Amino acid sequence: MHRSASRLTRVLACAAVPVILTVAGCSSDSGKESADKGDKKSGSSASAKPGEKKSKPELEKAAFATLPDPCKAIQAGTIDTLVPEAKDKNGTATKSNDLATRASCSWNGLDEDGLKGSQYRWLSLSYFRTDSHASLGGANKRAEEQYGKQVESAKASEGAQNVKAEAVEGLGDQGTSIVYSVKKDVDFFNTTIVARTQNVVVTLDYNGAAYEGAGAPDQAKLLQDAITAAKEAVASVAGANKPAEQQPQSPQPQ
Is 143 inside any structural domain?
yes
* Residue 50 lies inside a defined structural domain of this protein: no
pLDDT class of 60 with cuts at 50, 70, 90? confident
Secondary structure E strands in the chain: 92-93, 102-112, 118-129, 161-167, 174-183, 187-197, 200-211
Give the residue from 53, 63, 215, 239 showing the smallest Cα distance to 144: 63
If one counts the domains in the chain, the total is: 1
**CATH number for position 136:** 3.40.1000
What Å distances lie between residue 173 and 88, 94, 101, 178, 241, CA to CA?
Answer: 32, 26, 19, 17, 17
State the DSSP code for 86. B
Residue 28 predicted with pLDDT over 50: no
**How are strands ordered across the β-sheet holding 200-211?**
92-93, 102-112, 118-129, 200-211, 187-197, 174-183, 161-167
Q: Would you state the pLDDT for residue 115?
A: 82
Q: Which domain holds residue 98?
A: 76-242
- Contact assessment for residue 172 and residue 230, using Cβ atoms and an 8 Å cutoff: no
246: DSSP letter: G
**pLDDT, position 101:** 96
Mean pLDDT of 138-142: 96
* Cβ count near 121 (within 10 Å): 22
Residue 34's pLDDT band (boundaries 50, 70, 90)? very low
Residue 2 lies in a domain: no
Q: Is 47 exposed, middle or buried (0-12, 13-18, 19+ CB in 10 A)?
A: exposed
| This prediction's pTM | 0.75
pLDDT digits (tens, 9 = 90+) for 62-83: 999 999 999 999 999 999 999 9
Domain-located, residue 51: no
* 139 domain residue, yes or no: yes
Q: How far apart are the first and last CA of the chain?
A: 147
48 inside domain: no
Q: Summarize pLDDT for 151-165 with one digit per residue, the tens.
A: 999 999 999 999 999
Q: Could you tell me if residue 172 is inside a domain?
A: yes
Over residues 171-199, the pLDDT tens digits come to 999 999 999 999 988 999 999 999 999 99
Sign of the CA dihedral 224, 151, 155, 102? negative
Q: What is the pLDDT of residue 53?
A: 57
177 in any annotated domain: yes
